[in-house]
Amino acid sequence: MSERTGQVSRKTNETSIKVSVTLDGTGKADIHTGVEFFDHMLEQLARHSLIDMTIKAKGDLHIDAHHTVEDTGIALGQALKQAIGDKTGIRRYGHFDLVMDEARSSVALDFSNRAYLVWDAAFSIDRLGEMDTELFREFFQALAGAGGLTLHVTNICGVNNHHIAESIFKACAKSLRMAVETDPRAANQLPSTKGAL
């Protein structure tokens, strides 16, 4: 099987971001966005998806983290989309229900090329570290939009905001791993009756 990789460089007046992914990796992460809590979440995304990720971002953090987080989601979505190509042989769908202590989150996704986010998660504090908690939704919105993902994120329960966020990222990681894996029973087939995704 040829190596399934994606590389994206995105430069705007607000951010400069480089992302590379290897779908058939081991979960190695080299991530530096300048937003340390976000880095921690992205490291979880790489580790538990087994997708190698290198993400280097410089943004206008003197304003806030919004542009950096959103544009990282765009670049990562584009890199994932590039890496899976025409989607021949992938499982396409992924879902995972994950617990982390008292927190439980569920993520279901489809590499449908129909970008859509359903977000059902709330935080009881405004910030985790230096990251505004409202930016988690912005990241997943950008990831879904640029990656062509239908993405449903649900936090079922939780008290600790760190656990809630981490359970969401880990559930997404496990769902990504499932969706991008090659299906050995359909390795040369497109996972659609339409003939295109």
Q: Is residue 190 part of a domain?
A: no
Q: Answer yes or no: is pLDDT of 193 > 60.
A: yes
Q: What does the pLDDT look like over 59-113, one tens digit per residue?
A: 999 999 999 999 999 999 999 999 999 999 999 999 999 999 999 999 999 999 9
Q: Answer yes or no: is pLDDT of 2 > 70.
A: no
Phi, psi of 80 (to 5 degrees): -65, -45
Q: What does the pLDDT look like over 30-44, one tens digit per residue?
A: 999 999 999 999 999
Q: Answer yes or no: is pLDDT of 123 > 50.
A: yes
Q: What does the pLDDT look like over 145-165, one tens digit per residue?
A: 999 999 999 999 999 999 999
Q: Is residue 94 part of a domain?
A: yes
- Domain of 96: which CATH number? 3.30.230.40
Q: Is residue 193 part of a domain?
A: no
Query: Could you tell me the pTM of the whole model?
Result: 0.97
Cβ contacts of 185 within 8 Å, gap of 6 or more: none
Q: Answer yes or no: is pLDDT of 1 > 50.
A: no
Q: Is residue 9 part of a domain?
A: yes
Q: Is residue 144 part of a domain?
A: yes
Total domain count, the chain: 1
Q: Is residue 192 part of a domain?
A: no
Which percentage of the chain shows pLDDT scores above 90?
96
Q: Is residue 55 part of a domain?
A: yes
User: Do residues 149 and 110 make contact, with C-beta atoms less than 8 angstroms apart?
Assistant: yes
What is the residue range of 87's domain? 5-180
